Amino acid sequence: MTDTADIIIIGAGVHGASVAFHLAQRGVKATILEKKFVAAGATGRSSGLVRMHYDVQQDTELAWVSFQYFRNWKEIVGGDCGFTRTGFIQLVAPADTETLKGNVASHQAIGVPVMLIKKDDVKRLAPSFNVNDIELAAYEPESGYAMPSDTANSLINAAREKGARLIQDCTVTGIITKSGKVTGVRTTQGEFNAPVVVNAAGAWAGVINTMVELDLPYDTWHHDTMFVVRPHEIGPSHPTVIDFANEMYFRPEGNLTLVGLEDGNPLGESPDSDTDHARKGFVERGIDRICRRIPSMETGALHSAHAGYDGITLDQHPYLGTAGPDGFYLDCGFSGTGFKTAPAVGLCMSELILDGRSKTVDISIYSPQRLSDGKQITGEHAYSSIWH
């Protein structure tokens, strides 16, 4: 079978879905080729945190533009992304207090609703938290979390209503080029011709890059998460938190608390490895960490634990832009933090593809060539690398 499309998107995670949605908004009908099903990769495993606190201004801008979607999802996209406002607290060790202040000031400068709060304020917002080890925190009262599978599905449904196509159980096995230009892809369901191909294959994007002999540093990142049944005394909910002091994050979901850790996330594994179970030792480490911040979690119970894979780059920032043959675009390498920025990234990628440059947010710093040009993305008020 040979088929023809205007634009092919490889991967139906939240990023492939977002590009398809924004292209459809501009009247361009993309064909999304997905080897399994919508949100089968990182998106379906994502913890779904939605916050603006970053140490790189463009990351915050992308998250802030995306936030307007999350809180007005029905009007902008349709369907439901499951956004739940819990408030978000960024906790740091006292050594990072000045860095935190610098970042909060730059977020406020672009209009993000965020304030510095003292440890007593943290205690008022979350009475079950131990705050002995912190001085200041950042508080985003509007932030929270969303449901990643619902987010991706509603973007794809909206794109399909405007003519986009989703073809599942369709693995891309090769990229076809002629005279330095992309002309299509080979798949397990035949060939598809198109002058533009977007690599949104998440942890598998490195494999796609090798199909056009692109030699970019790209790795896979394994991340475990667990759900704990919260003891009643903690109350019906608590804020969503990134806790740099304890190298973890956590958020509520009903009577459960989801926990993930910043350390012990191995690189280089096959993304087709088991994701139904967390790695040995993760649950014990996770319980130890959450009990440091919420001592009464001692009487909680483990509900479940599992894993996921994302693509990661050397500076833990995505590749957004063209590389390799003409018509080949990278939209990958989100390094464990790409859910919350997906709406804006998809908009910017659609601008880049259709207009030659992104105008909503300048995404040129995420150029795939930056590392070979000797540039790594770091913040003005930089924390240490989030994952290690």
Dig out the tokens for 193 from the structure.
């011709």
What is the rounded distance in angstroms from the CA atom of residue 282 to the CA atom of residue 372? 35
Site for ligand FAD contains 332 (CB under 6 A): yes
* Among candidate residues 95, 134, 133, the one with its CA nearest the CA of residue 116: 134
Q: Which of 10, 81, 182, 197 binds ligand FAD (CB under 6 A)?
A: 10
* Region from 37-45, 73-81, 106-114, 376-384 binding ligand FAD, contact rule CB under 6 A: 37-45
Q: Is the dihedral of CA 152, 23, 271, 203 positive or negative?
A: negative
x/- letters, 288..327, toward ligand FAD (CB under 6 A): --------------------xxx-----------------
* Region from 20-28, 54-62, 200-208, 374-382 binding ligand FAD, contact rule CB under 6 A: 200-208
Site for ligand FAD contains 103 (CB under 6 A): no
Dig out the tokens for 144 from the structure.
């929270």
Site for ligand FAD contains 225 (CB under 6 A): yes
What is the rounded distance in angstroms from the CA atom of residue 346 to the CA atom of residue 11? 13
Q: Tell me the closest approach of the beta carbon of residue 275 to ligand FAD, in angstroms.
A: 8
Q: Which of 9, 122, 203, 352 binds ligand FAD (CB under 6 A)?
A: 203
Q: Which of 5, 9, 16, 83 binds ligand FAD (CB under 6 A)?
A: 16
* CA angle centred on 126, ends 123 and 131, rounded to 5°: 40
Burial letters 281-295, b for 16+ CB under 10 A, else e? ebbebbbebbbebbe
- CB-based contact 314:376 (threshold 8 Å): yes
Site for ligand FAD contains 350 (CB under 6 A): no
34 versus 243: smaller Cβ distance to ligand FAD: 34
Q: Which of 7, 49, 175, 242 binds ligand FAD (CB under 6 A)?
A: 49
136 versus 199: smaller Cβ distance to ligand FAD: 199
CB burial of residue 365 (10 Å; 0-12, 13-18, 19+): middle
* Among candidate residues 344, 267, 373, 284, the one with its CA nearest the CA of residue 69: 344
Q: Which of 5, 24, 40, 159 binds ligand FAD (CB under 6 A)?
A: 40
Q: Tell me the closest approach of the beta carbon of residue 339 to ligand FAD, in angstroms.
A: 3
* Among candidate residues 137, 141, 123, 135, the one with its CA nearest the CA of residue 242: 137
Site for ligand FAD contains 381 (CB under 6 A): no
Q: Tell me the closest approach of the beta carbon of residue 23 to ligand FAD, in angstroms.
A: 15
* Region from 12-20, 95-103, 125-133, 226-234 binding ligand FAD, contact rule CB under 6 A: 12-20
